[in-house]
Amino acid sequence: MIAYLRGRVLSKAPNQVVVDCGGVGYDVAISVSTFSELPGEGAEAALHIHTHVREDQIALFGFAEMQEKRLFERLLTISGIGPKLAITVLSGISAERLVVAIRGGDHATLTKIPGIGKKTAERVVLELKDKLEDMAVPVAAGGGGYHTPLGDDALSALVNLGYARPVAQKAVESAIEKDPEAAKDFETLFRAAMAAIR
């Protein structure tokens, strides 16, 4: 069972990376947030791996952070969620925000994720709500982080411009961290977040 890979990045895309480990290229499915943390082609990368074995195939799923891998494996315990949907979920929302949404029973946030309907969201909350105590969630400055109407608007605007949600989310969070006052004005916050992405 493969649990960890370290090697050279041969190629990468938002949902897949090929890692060369001693002359063998491993094809690994990844989330968008792991993609944004990986170095460029030719550089060395390390991934925590979940090996998924089926009758007809062996698939590797890779994660830059151990917390994301653990969350992925918790999602797999829910009936109706396979590895492809679990990786899609983690591409649609950061691990931290997913933990907050599940713990808080925030069905509205969960149903915004592609592939997650109302019933699946309810099942995720019901089955995982009390199983995430060991998942550390950093508390954002001021306690509210970007989870304010203006923060959500800025995030939505960046996603509509084509930025991946985890990338846009990090940009909004870092803009608010640098200048908490920016969170009070949409235009200021949006421009600061755009600057953070660049």
What is the mean pLDDT of the segment spanning 9-38? 94
* Stated pTM of the model: 0.68
Residue 47: inside a domain, yes or no? yes
Provide the number of structural domains found in the chain: 3
pLDDT in tens, 41-80: 999 999 999 999 988 989 999 999 988 999 999 999 998 8
Q: Which domain holds residue 117?
A: 66-128
Residue 91: inside a domain, yes or no? yes
CA–CA gap between residue 68 and residue 21 (Å, rounded): 22
Q: Nearest 5 degrees, angle CA 108-CA 81-CA 83?
A: 120
CA–CA gap between residue 178 and residue 146 (Å, rounded): 12
Residue 117: inside a domain, yes or no? yes
Residue 143: inside a domain, yes or no? no
| 45 and 88 together in one domain | no
Element spanning 100, H or E: helix 95-103
